[in-house]
Amino acid sequence: MRTDYGYFEEKQLGKPYDVKLLARLYPYTNPYKLLLAASIVLVVFITLLDLSLPYITKIAIDRYIIPKIESAGGKGNIRYLKADLTDPGIRAVVEKHPSLFKVQEASAIIPYDDLPKLSKKDLGMLRKNDLDGITWITAIFLGIVLINFVFNMAQVLIMEYTGQMIMHDLRVRLFNHIQGLSVSFFTRNPVGRLVTRVANDVQNMHELFTSVIVFVFKDLFLLVGIAVVLMGINLRLALVSFTVIPFVLWASIYFSGQAREAYRILRLKIAEINTRFSETIGGIRVIQLFLQEKRNYLDFKHLNHEHYLAGMRQIHVFAVFMPVIEILGAVAIAVVIYYGGGGALAGTLSLGALVAFISYMKMFFRPIRDIAEKYNILQNAMASAERIFLILDSTETIPLPVSDRKSDPETGSKIISGTLDKISEISMENVSFAYIKGETVLNNISFRITAGKTLAVVGPTGSGKTSIINLLVRFYDPTSGGVSLNGVDVKNIDPAVLRAKMALVMQDPFLFSETIRRNITLGKEDISEAGMERILENSNCKTFVDRLPDGLDTVLSEGGASISSGERQLISIARAFARNPDLIILDEATSHIDSETEHKIQEALDNLMAHRTSIVVAHRLSTARDADTILVLNRGRIIETGNHAELMQLKGFYFRLNQLQG
């Protein structure tokens, strides 16, 4: 039996290496075009400098170390050193050893085989021009190496900065986009997957921006440059050595294709590992309470093993690919040595040209290996990019109102996108709603509540109480019907403006790992110290906050785990006070609390609800008795409406619920 560990399977995606996908990444490079251009210019210079080094070696060998063969007639060719007799020092050496030299007008020649017969001093004098030439060549060589180092360092710094900034921009955009998605998106996507997208997948694209984009240019320039230089040195030998290239290209394409699926599986498995770990930490109490450590460990071990197998598959591909490229490179060099060596012996190719050829061939296979590696980095990055764009392409957002029109041309209703006056009336008209198409949870709901009144919503579990809250704060839009504030459909009010007028106190409030002060204000920085004191007093937070070592500046642990559930509830009430809302929505804020704490919370809630419009979702009917109106829900429908006394007189569903709760 196959299990997916509760994870939602991501869409089956197309080719990771997709030109369209690269085109979508291109806009992120626009702010850094000048830096990229500078990096490419540096790469061109670096490539030219790299190409010059073997050629300088050729010049040093052919011109100064072992000059070309001079024909002396007779059988075969003998290598001679030619000396300039206009130099007095050289003339003195020639006159000192007349039997070794053959004078030819203003010059003299001596066989290379006879050079060891000269003293070190005489040999130095004879070859002083060559030694001077080698000194200059060495200085030029070292100068090029130094310049190359500086250019490389500058290029790496530019690309690292550019890559980090592009990743920064992409991560910020992704984070901002995720924040704007509707709640329905988060119910279908586990936390671990989203963490992987924002953290791992964006980071995984680092090498794409820092290595692939510019270094592909470098490798291509280097390949073309080497090919041109080799053909310039000896066209026939160059064409012979190029016979290996088709095999190299085939190997690169074949092994890159083999690595594709491994990269994609790796991205999926990392997301699943993060999700499993996130669930384990979040549910550690349940795991330990029900002795599920072993089973959870085995599930994680299986998942981790799948990740290991995908990683090994990728490693196996490279374990074969790299040696294959090395072998083909060695074959190419062997071909050069065989044919070039024969040319050197025959006198059709200089020794310097042969050495340069071998150096260039070694250099030729480096960019081929690099391009193959960069292609695999590209595959890996594209596997991440396509999943990032899956989120960026998500349109599961609450539609914003049209702000540049005074009224809707079809309905004539007023559109309010910037401001919202004090809430005087809230209504639902024939509202139906389904989280999943075809599975209705609210059916034809209608009610109206005016300013300063309290509406309680009661009913059994699953009757749709929380769904009404979700529609009021516009976490979701109704399938049909409308939700209105002051006679204006909430769809025509900016969600930020709408929610600024509301405060939601939930059954299990969420606190951030920040100070208590910041958890209360949540960005509302204009609250004075006197105002904060009033908030603490009215919310019954002052007593326990004053006991803390740092008071309001005490940093809470994640989720507020370092304080009791009752204290978390009081902080959430203080948060509502700081917002100073028109509408208070309570999702049975006093459930699961001891009697003493419940009294404090109820007192704080009474302070909060005073002179404000309130909607209370009541799981315990005792909290609904004082409401001006009570809606009784069952199976998504309103079956009874009235105050407590009226509903008890009916002796219907509400009456029976009261009887059951004692």
Q: How confident is the model at residue 25 (pLDDT cuts 50, 70, 90)?
A: confident
pLDDT(620) > 80: no
Count of C-beta atoms within a 10 Å radius of residue 3: 9
User: pLDDT tens-digit profile of 563-580?
Assistant: 888 888 898 889 888 888
Residues in CB range of 288: below 8 A, 6 or more apart: none
Q: Is the pLDDT of residue 6 over 50?
A: no
**pLDDT tens digits, 511-540:** 888 888 988 888 777 888 898 999 999 998
Banded model confidence at residue 591, pLDDT cuts 50, 70, 90: low
The alpha helices in 60-181, defined as continuous H runs, are: 88-96, 120-126, 128-179
* For helices 351-392 and 293-346, angle between their N-to-C axes, nearest 10 degrees: 150
The arithmetic mean of pLDDT across residues 90-101, rounded, is 83
Axis crossing angle, helix 245-282 with helix 293-346, rounded to the nearest 10: 160
pLDDT in tens, 269-327: 887 888 888 788 777 877 887 788 888 889 889 989 988 888 888 788 777 777 887 88
Beta-carbon neighbour count of residue 155 at 10 Å? Answer: 21
* pLDDT-derived band at 404, boundaries 50, 70, 90: very low
Mean pLDDT score of the chain: 81
The H or E element containing residue 425 is strand 425-436
- Bigger pLDDT: 543 or 289? 543
Handedness of CA 101, 103, 104, 105 (dihedral sign): positive
Yes or no: say if 110 and 100 are a contact pair by the CB < 8 Å rule. Answer: yes
Separation between Cα atoms, residue 281 and residue 380, nearest integer Å: 29
pLDDT of res. 412: 41
Please name the residues in contact with 65: beta carbons below 8 A apart, sequence gap of 6 or more.
130, 134, 352
Cβ neighbour number for residue 390 with a 10 Å cutoff: 14
CB atoms within 10 A of CB 419: 9
Looking at per-residue pLDDT, the higher value among 354 and 73 belongs to 354
**What is the Cα gyration radius of the chain?**
40
Instruction: Give the model confidence (pLDDT) of 378-401 as tens digits.
Output: 777 887 888 888 888 888 777 777
Q: Determine the pLDDT at residue 657.
A: 86
Alpha helices in 403-528 (DSSP H): 465-472, 495-500, 516-521
Report which DSSP code applies to 457. Answer: E
**Residue 9 has what pLDDT?**
41
Query: pLDDT value at position 427?
Result: 93
| Neighbour count for residue 237 (Cβ, 10 Å) | 23
pLDDT at 1 (0 to 100): 33
* Band of residue 75 on the pLDDT scale cut at 50, 70, 90: very low
- The domains of the chain, with CATH numbers, are 163-392 (1.20.1560.10), 416-501+581-662 (3.40.50.300), 512-576 (no CATH)
Tokens of 34: 């000048």
- Do 520 and 551 contact (CB within 8 A), yes or no? no
The pLDDT score that the predictor gives to residue 415 is 42
């999702």: which residue's tokens? 587
DSSP state of 222: H
pLDDT band for position 402 (50/70/90)? low
* pLDDT at residue 455 in the model: 93
pLDDT for 12: 44
Residue 42 pLDDT more than 70? Answer: yes
pLDDT in tens, 113-137: 778 888 888 888 888 877 888 889 8
Task: Report the candidate in 282, 25, 35 with the shortest Cα–Cα distance to residue 174.
Answer: 25
Q: 42: buried, middle or exposed (CB in 10 Å: 19+, 13-18, 0-12)?
A: buried
Tell me how crowded residue 34 is: count the other CB atoms within 10 A of its CB. Answer: 10
Residue 339 pairs in a beta bridge with none
- What mean pLDDT do residues 416-421 have? 55
Give the closest residue to 411 by CA, choosing from 429, 393, 398.
Answer: 429
The Cα 513–Cα 466 span in angstroms is 26
Share of the chain above pLDDT 70, in %: 89
- pLDDT on residue 147: 95
